[in-house]
Amino acid sequence: MKGRWIVFEGLDGAGTTTQVKLLESSLRGLLGDQALIRSTAEPTHGPFGEICRQALKGQISLDRRTLALAFTTDRCQHVFSEGGIEATLDSGGWILQDRYLHSTLAYQDGPDRDWLEALHSIFPRPDLLFFIDTPIAECLSRIRSRGQDQELFEREEVLRSVQAAYQRILEKESVTHRVEILDGTQPAGSLHRQVLERIQSHFHPAG
């Protein structure tokens, strides 16, 4: 049996990480201890993901194409390596994921768009993609309230172009894949209930 793969996307501060955590705990309750449920994120904590994180923190400076390749290489390992996403799905597991290729297509969008899309043609798509649509001002205020150092893309003008790129990507993906757009201004608990409802209607996980 093949498992289910659910990905959350959104701007920095949109609330994807919280939703992955809430979903993991609800699914464990619904599916029981025997179910294989794995939460994961990109960039990963593998070697290429660490390079991405260093670039995000400004500890190393990478050319934009090099950074796009670093995110994509990290993803390649995440999906295709032994014990990776593909293998987990093949053994019937659930993958709940914070960010995937849509992040590269949105954040690294620009003059290299065709090249990036071609690079991503080999990657499988998730069974369901949630986009948490949170206004930029709200995202920035949440990021500020975390009190951490500002990362590479956590600036208003950058998030504006990322948001436009996401819109284009979501439109395109929704022609061939399941995409659900959720209002990210709702409290985390209400958002989570909607996530569960949409999952129930797509996959009936408990029945």
Residues contributing to the site for ligand TYD (CB under 6 A): 12, 17, 42-43, 56, 71, 98-99, 103-104, 107-108, 151, 153
We find the least distance from the C-beta atom of residue 187 to ligand TYD, in angstroms, to be 20
We find the least distance from the C-beta atom of residue 32 to ligand TYD, in angstroms, to be 29
194-to-132, 161, 191 alpha-carbon distances in Å = 11, 27, 5
Closest-by-Cβ residue to ligand TYD is 107
Residues 6 or more apart whose CB falls under 8 angstroms from that of 63 comprise none
We find the least distance from the C-beta atom of residue 48 to ligand TYD, in angstroms, to be 11
Pairing of strands 128-133, 179-183: parallel
Instruction: Choose between 17 and 26: whose C-beta lies nearer to ligand TYD.
Output: 17
We find the least distance from the C-beta atom of residue 56 to ligand TYD, in angstroms, to be 5
* Helices vs strands, H then E, count in the chain: 9, 5
Instruction: Choose between 50 and 86: whose C-beta lies nearer to ligand TYD.
Output: 50
d(CA 139, CA 76): 29
